[in-house]
Amino acid sequence: MRPLTVVALLALGSSAAAQAPVTPSAPPVPPAGRAFEVRLGGVMIAGERNSEYFDNFASGSGLVRGAEGLLRGKAGGLSFRTLSSDFGEQPQVTSADLRLLIGPPVFTVAVGGSRRVLWSSLGSNSFDFGLAGVSTTLAIGGTGLRANAGGVMYFPRPTTEETMKGGMEGETSLIYTLPRLPLYVQVGYRTELFTAVSGTKESPEELRGIRVGGGLQLGGR
């Protein structure tokens, strides 16, 4: 083949390749989130508590310590929590609750029950009541952070209608899951109201403070 012919064929091939449409490659598909989440850890609340118990009003700072756990999938799950307070001369409170979670993390309805024991040198009272509320958990990009906010109302059961009026709790928090370890840390704010009743006398309590926690976490990233 003559040199000029070879040169012409090479030039023609290069021109055709340049004019051929370029098919864009498909964007990478991000990995799907895990369909389950298991969390088990400790919690501490450092804050202020105001209470009135048998006409004795008290206010002060202290700590609430406890443990909490979560087991959930895309459509719901279960959670539990135990807390015990230490506010010096004020009546102490120990509580435990179990909640059924209905719906995905972005909007979850929680229903369940709780037992609360209030005790001091003057005596003790225990309360069994129902829980109902909502919460939302949203991922913040790919940072490993999630924002959580929720509120729950307390409802007396028939056996405690004469000893408690009701109450509520509200929480907001940021949850950070470590990228290479099955661990999480959490920081936020909690407020809680509870009102006991003795005859015509009401004994309200108010707790508010900074909430921190951490522990083991599988899934939920």
Model confidence pLDDT, tens digit, residues 70-107: 999 989 999 999 999 988 888 889 999 999 999 999 99
Q: For residue 2, give the DSSP letter.
A: -
Judged against a pLDDT cut of 60, whether residue 219 lies above it is answered with yes
Mean pLDDT of 48-64: 86
Question: How many residues does the structure list for the chain?
Answer: 221
Superfamily name with CATH number, domain 35-219:
OPCA outer membrane adhesin/invasin (2.40.128.100)
Chain-wide mean pLDDT for the chain?
84
Judged against a pLDDT cut of 70, whether residue 24 lies above it is answered with no
Question: Which pair of tokens denotes residue 27?
Answer: 């964007």
Model confidence pLDDT, tens digit, residues 100-132: 999 999 999 999 999 999 887 777 788 999 999
Q: Looking at residue 78, what is its pLDDT?
A: 97
Give the residues across from 81 on adjacent strands. 68, 97
Dihedrals phi, psi of 174, to nearest 5 degrees: -115, 130
pTM: 0.79
What is the rounded CA–CA span in Å between residue 78 and residue 75? Answer: 11
Judged against a pLDDT cut of 70, whether residue 23 lies above it is answered with no
Q: Looking at residue 135, what is its pLDDT?
A: 97
Which helix or strand (DSSP H or E) is residue 177 part of?
Answer: strand 164-177
Model confidence pLDDT, tens digit, residues 134-161: 999 999 988 889 999 999 999 998 877 7
pLDDT-derived band at 209, boundaries 50, 70, 90: very high
